[in-house]
A and B are shown apart, each in its own frame.
Chain A
């Protein structure tokens, strides 16, 4: 479980950071769709987030700090390499671009909701 508000917020922040990095990588892949010998890149976002979530679920009191979330940039695997040594799959990149955009939208909405909750608490205390 995610315990404190600040942890929740920094978890969201890390998630958005990962998604934004993925967006940059997709831009780079598409800009390099003609580049000789270029191999497309991706970030291991899902793996890192799943590991974090299962670690924090396993132990309520463990010291799982979202600040420790570290992403890695990797070459994509299992793609066909074209005759010029390039393996950018334009359709797949476009699909993950759209998917990534929706995920970013979702997480930013969740973060907005969380901030609204805090706002409500703060305005209640004013009486």
Chain B
């Protein structure tokens, strides 16, 4: 029984969701940023959550040859998806407008960000609940010898 590991997995999950929340607030805050360092409008960022299963460790793979690995929480990476085009806004008087009168706007969709935010909040709550459950179970184990 590894109490710390159970807490670790949930803490990992909490961290991942918090990171997701950070990226969402960054996106919303920059929803109107027209010029960034590279001269383009702001591009939305996304987190990529992957399972942290240490599958690349050779002996672990051998140990678990015939069954799935136990898993050790999640890993998070922040990426900038490039394929989504910028939105175009027709505003000929704008100083950044091109020859056809269009201004390139960031590819942030506020509605989408809001939905992502709700799912992150729920997932955060779920991880917190699991951590609480692990704590209660550990307390029960401590009570055995009382």
Contact = CB atoms under 8 A, between A and B. Distances in A.
| Interface secondary structure of A, over-half rule | helix
A36 B48 contact: yes
Given A101-B136, A108-B143, A24 B5 contact: yes
Interface string B103-141: 000000000000000010011001101110110110011
A97 interface: yes
Contacts of A36: 48-50
Contact of B71 (A25, A34, A74, A115): A25
A72 B143 contact: no
A39 B71 CA distance: 11
Contacts of A31: 9-10, 12-13, 16, 73-74, 127, 130
A24 B136 contact: no
A87 interface: no
B71 A32 contact: yes
Given A72-B67, A97-B133, A115-B144, A34 B123 contact: yes
A101 B51 contact: no
B145 interface: yes
Interface residues on A, range: 35 or more
Interface in A21-38: 21, 23-28, 30-36, 38
A108 B130 contact: no
Interface in B54-74: 64, 67-74
Contacts of A101: 133, 136-137
Interface of B: 1-2, 5-6, 9-10, 12-13, 16, 20, 48-51, 64, 67-74, 119, 122-123, 126-127, 129-131, 133-134, 136-137, 140-141, 143-146
